[in-house]
Amino acid sequence: MKKTNAKERYLPGIVLLFFLVGLCCLIAACFSPWKGDMGTFSVSIGGGGGNGRGSLPWDESINTDKLEHVIKLSGGPAPDQTRSITGSGTATFTVQPGDWNVSVEDYYTIPANSDEPGQKSFVAYGAKTVTIQPGPNDTASVEMWQVINSWGLLKTTIDVNEIGSYTYVLSSYGANSDWTAYLPFGGSINISSSITLIAANNIDISRDPNNLDYPFTFFSINNGGSLTLQTTGGSTLIMDGGGSTSGAPSLITVNGAFEMNDGVKLINNTGDPNTWGAGVAVNEGGAFTMNGGTISGNTTQFSGGGVSVSSGGIFTMNGGTISGNTAQTTGGGVYVGQGGKFTKSGGVIYGDDVAANANISGQKKGNAVYVAVDDNNGSGPIYRTEKIRNTTAGPSVNLDSEVDTWPQ
């Protein structure tokens, strides 16, 4: 009988051992929460202080123990996920690593003895983007903001603000409701604080067709005040001038700071004979930053169908579209007066080269952009050649530069 050495005797056992270890690893991988290098994180919902009302200081009648919190994950490398919690608790997610949008929506059911028993009201909202790494991650903290469900409430809320920074979310009473309303008589809102408005649903505010003889600007931003308009979740925020009106001012009047972002639309305003900038009027000391959105379909009998920038005003365009506006004199898309400043690093301003989206000036001076330049050397204003752009404005323009060349 042939003798076997130790190596030959133990080889089958060694092979079996490696096989069993490999099998155990495979089984563990199948049932492990880290399968495929997944990441886990939590969103913790607190009960709030002050008898359950601390997290909603704007409404002392709401007990946070009865709030329904809907936590949503979206925009990541895998399908969306949703969790719900009533009162306080923790929602834990296991997801593929990457950037995720986290939103929290708070709903409150109106008590049965109210005028609308059982109606679920959307009262608070918060959102942020988190980067999930493989393995355990920190608990996400989401700042919550008050939901405003009508223009009247928005005006009342902003009017009573002291100086400070405030963020509000625009939505309607019910869950996932759009909001369509008319700007009421006397509905103009003056901005003296730092205000951010976020449209969580499709918001469409237009002038009341029954009161077009007495139109108002939507927002008047005072010196020292600031307004930021933005959207979330693919929503739109529309300020509609109501078409042909009598005595309409600009949709937005800027004496402070105004920032406009994706999803915001300033449209369909017809200015009166005194209106420069039917969409946005940037006055002395005002600064308008356009990062996205649309200014379209506005008309003025003077200059600046879309935007007018007065002396001492600043307009910075980083993105968005200015199209289909009309000025009876100059600057169908944008008019920049003497001493005004305009810098463009992105976005599109159409001119007469794209008929479907053309900005038009009645004098054919600056269908896209018209700039009156003031070279004041101490002896009074001296006019350089006016800068006129009748075709689509390019990707980068700096009108603050004395050496900048602009197509004639």
In a domain? residue 13: no
Strands 369-371 and 387-389: antiparallel
Q: For 22-64, what is each residue's pLDDT tens digit?
A: 433 333 334 444 445 899 999 988 754 333 333 466 677 777 7
Residues 257 and 360 occupy one common structural domain: yes
| Nearest-angstrom CA–CA distance, 104 and 201 | 14
Of 223, 188, 193, which is closest to residue 207 (Cα–Cα)? 188
Domain shared by 169 and 193, yes or no: yes
Question: Using one digit for the tens of pLDDT, what is the confidence trace for 202-252?
Answer: 999 888 766 666 678 899 999 999 999 999 888 999 999 888 766 689 999
Tokens coding 82: 């949703």
Residue 362 lies in a domain: yes
| Contact (Cβ atoms closer than 8 angstroms) between residue 335 and residue 307 | yes
CA separation for the pair 313, 79 (Å, rounded):
46
The pLDDT score that the predictor gives to residue 21 is: 35
- The answer on 386 and 303 residing in a single domain is yes
302 within a domain of the structure (yes/no): yes
DSSP letters, 316-372, are EE-S-EEES-EESSB-SSEEE-TT-EEEESSSEE--TTSGGG--EETTSB-SSEEE-
State pLDDT tens for residues 184-205: 666 789 999 999 999 988 999 8
Hey, is 57 helix, strand or coil? coil
Q: Which helix (H) or strand (E) holds 224?
A: none
Task: With respect to residue 30, please indicate whether it lies within any of the assigned structural domains.
Answer: no
Residues 105 and 150 in one domain: no
pLDDT at site 344: 85
Among residues 364, 406, 354, 356, which one has the least CA distance to residue 385?
Answer: 406
- pLDDT value of position 115: 56
Do 226 and 324 belong to one domain? Answer: yes
Least Cα distance to 121 among 107, 106, 103 occurs for 107
Task: Report if residue 220 sits inside a domain.
Answer: yes
Residue by residue, pLDDT tens for the chain (408 residues) are: 444 444 343 333 333 333 333 433 333 334 444 445 899 999 988 754 333 333 466 677 777 788 899 999 999 999 999 999 998 889 999 999 999 999 998 888 876 555 555 567 888 888 889 999 999 999 888 888 889 888 888 988 898 777 889 999 998 754 455 677 777 666 789 999 999 999 988 999 888 766 666 678 899 999 999 999 999 888 999 999 888 766 689 999 999 999 999 999 999 999 887 889 999 999 999 999 999 999 999 999 999 999 999 989 999 999 999 999 999 999 999 998 888 888 888 888 988 877 788 999 988 888 889 888 655 544 443 344 467 777 766 555 545 444 444 433
Q: Which residue has the tokens 């369909």?
A: 268
Q: Does 151 share its domain with 295?
A: yes
Whether 289 and 319 have beta carbons less than 8 Å apart is answered as no
In this structure, the answer to whether residues 355 and 232 fall within a common structural domain is yes
* Whether 309 and 176 share a structural domain: yes
Task: Tell me, yes or no, whether 3 lies in a domain.
Answer: no
* Closest listed residue to residue 286, CA positions, set 371, 227, 345: 227
- Using DSSP's 3-state secondary structure scheme, residue 20 falls into helix
Q: Do 149 and 132 belong together in one domain? A: no
In-domain check, residue 23: no
Q: How far apart are CA 282 and CA 253, in angstroms?
A: 6
Domain with 167 in it: 145-398
**How far is Cα 158 from Cα 153, in angstroms, rounded to an integer?**
8
Closest alpha carbon to 371 in 390, 358, 355: 390
* 52 and 104 part of one domain: yes
What is the model's pTM?
Answer: 0.81
Q: pLDDT value at position 59?
A: 73
**What DSSP state is assigned to residue 52?**
H
| Position 35 in a domain | no
Residues 172 and 317 placed together within one structural domain of the fold: yes
* Mean of pLDDT over the chain: 78
Q: Of 91, 119, 136, which marks where a domain is finished?
A: 136
Number of domains in the chain: 2
Confidence (pLDDT) at 113 = 57
Distance of CA 344 to the CA centre of its chain: 20
Tell whether 45 and 181 lie within a shared domain. Answer: no
pLDDT of residue 397: 55
